Amino acid sequence: MRCVRAAFAALCLLAVAAPAAQADHVAPSVTATLELGDAVRDCSTSGLCARARRATVSWNASCGSAAPADALREVDVGIYGVAPDGKRFAYDGEALEAEDATLTGTMGMTAGPGVRFFGEVTVICSATVVDADGYEVEHTAKAAPTPTAQFYLPPQLVNYRTTRAGFCGVNVPNSKVSKWLQAGQYAELEYFLRYSARSLMRRGVPELRQLKFFARGAGVRKKASADRGMLNQLGALGTWVNPRRAGTLRIWATIGGHRTNTLRIRVLPKRC
């Protein structure tokens, strides 16, 4: 009977001691949000500037109620684009090491036109704990990545110009020679587009086949692929038009079926 009592007492002692050995273990968790901010000017490497948006990823993390104050090791903030097939790709982001990482924080980035994207935050915590045998061991754990809601910014038709245009019987200011059209005169229009091909273009389909150029008004109703002559001779993406009457010509494009904004072109009356 005395042996049974001794064994029972030992079991009770283990039951009390075991949680104490695990008390400092880390159990990281994190929540994250993504918010769109003000519009900003964003220029590509080629110098084509478009209207972009500031975006901010905010996170609130914990290494666990029993973790020491210095348990945080890394906060990895990633911005990912989303392709048409649902796969993601790296778009922006930064990994913050221990000296820069904080349990609560924000990170800003610029999202350009023509992209679907979301944020994701991963937290890594680590602490030295004493195991059941009394040895110090390093316990490291990672919180499951927390994705934010997705946002979509449409592609942009930033600008246009005529690479070829005729005028007859009218005086056109030099500043408008590449901007205005005239009824009855053939013209070639170059479209300046900004978008993320990885986010809008379908895999396995040539990019040119997924670009469509539209023109409506002034007697024009057109949907066309990129004009091969303009592309081969000038490296320009666009199409030709021949307005039949004066008025306003509206132009836009689609990239992988996603429509851009619309620009308006003045069409002068026919004079000869």
Query: Going from the N-terminus, what domains does the chain have, and what CATH number goes with each?
Result: 23-153 (2.60.40), 156-268 (2.60.40)
Q: How far apart are CA 270 and CA 243, in angstroms?
A: 10
Full-model pTM: 0.81
DSSP state of 15: H
Residue among 102, 53, 107 at smallest CA distance from 79: 107
pLDDT of residue 98: 60
pLDDT of residue 138: 87
- Residue 191 forms beta bridges with which residues? 160
pLDDT of residue 93: 64
pLDDT of residue 12: 42
Give the N- to C-terminal CA distance of the chain in Å, as an integer: 121
Per run of 10 residues, the mean pLDDT along the chain (length 272 residues) is 43 40 71 94 91 94 90 92 94 70 91 95 89 82 90 97 95 96 97 96 94 98 95 93 97 97 97 90
pLDDT of residue 45: 87
pLDDT of residue 13: 38
Lookup: tokens for 261: 């904004």
pLDDT of residue 4: 40
pLDDT of residue 18: 39
Q: 158-197 as b/e, with b when 16 or more CB fall inside 10 Å?
A: bebebbebebeeeeeeeeeebebbbbbbebbbbbbbbbbe
Which residues contact residue 108 at a Cβ distance below 8 angstroms, ignoring those fewer than 6 apart? Answer: 37, 54, 55, 56, 57
